[in-house]
Amino acid sequence: MAKLPPMDLALEQARAAAMRGEVPVGAVVLGPDSAVLASAGNQTEALRDASAHAELLALREAARLLDTPRLVGCDLVVTLEPCPMCAQAISLFRIRRLIFGAYDPKGGGVEHGARVFDAPSCSHRPEVVGGVRESEAGALLRSFFAARRL
């Protein structure tokens, strides 16, 4: 089986989340050697946990696997601009680089809204690369919400 590029894996996780009735967001944590450590899709409905965002689930699993509370040198790939809660967690986990797909003008916390990494209280600011496969990630979200408005 061929190894999927990280954003492909994140999009696969997002599509799987949508099939479960979750908002289609997927996340992948890459180790310092770029190997996939963990991946997850949203599970807020399944776990009855408002904090069960894809980013947090993947970050927690990677930290568990590495047996450390900080993921220094690790990267996070996610299909949607993280919300303020996830952006703060990304800072606390000391993620080296955040790569995300679709921008979220309404609920984002990185380039929009709270802009967590720009706050003076932010203890760590990762490198941020936004808009990677933005149209594909955005289309997945639009399709998911359009189906619910019918």
pLDDT digits over 128-145, tens only? 999 999 999 999 999 999
The whole model's pTM is what?
A: 0.96
Alpha carbon 28 to its chain's center: 7
Strands (E), 14-149: 26-30, 36-41, 75-80, 97-102, 127-129
Residue 1: per-residue pLDDT:
42
**What is the spatial distance between Cα 109 and Cα 65, in angstroms, rounded to a whole number?**
27
Q: Which of 108, 101, 102, 99 is nearest to 126 (CA)?
A: 99
Q: What is the pLDDT of residue 148?
A: 82
Does the annotation count 55 as an active-site position? Answer: yes
> How many other C-beta atoms lie within 10 A of the C-beta of residue 136?
15
Among the listed residues 12, 22, 45, 55, the single catalytic one is 55
**Residues in the chain, pLDDT under 70:** 1-2, 150
pLDDT value of position 4: 78
> Which residue spans within 3-81 are E strands per DSSP?
26-30, 36-41, 75-80
Residue 150's pLDDT is: 64
Half-sphere exposure of 119 (CA within 13 A, CB side): 14
Candidates 40, 55, 46; CA nearest to 21 is 46
In angstroms, how far is CA 118 from the centroid of its own chain?
19
